[in-house]
Amino acid sequence: MTLTNDLIAFANAQPNSYVRDVMQLSVLDWAACGLAGAAEGSFDGFVTANATRGPCQVLGGDTGSPTNTALINGTLSHALDFDDTHFAHIGHPSVAVVSAALAI
């Protein structure tokens, strides 16, 4: 098999229930932390400075380009530093991964 075939097979594979459960928790955690970060208000200037018109949903209600939305949502979801604090995994992958994946 080629690398391309391996990547296609990986992308088409169904994750097991444990992986799905962890991802659901991570996305829920990302969204809750991001909405709390957006409501905080301390990042209003950052959001305004990076605001662009576009089709992507920015946490807090605006829309923007994919690139700027990923940046803003990643920043807001990590603003209060409570992201990914459940014990199913260690690390902070959802800030970058979910923000970028939803923007594209």
| pLDDT tens readout for residues 3-54 | 999 999 988 999 999 988 888 888 998 999 999 999 988 899 999 999 888 9
Domain ranges of the chain: 17-103
C-alpha distances in Å from residue 49, one per residue of 31, 45, 57, 96: 22, 6, 16, 20
Q: CA 90 to CA 87: how far, in whole Å?
A: 7
| pLDDT tens readout for residues 79-92 | 887 766 666 666 77
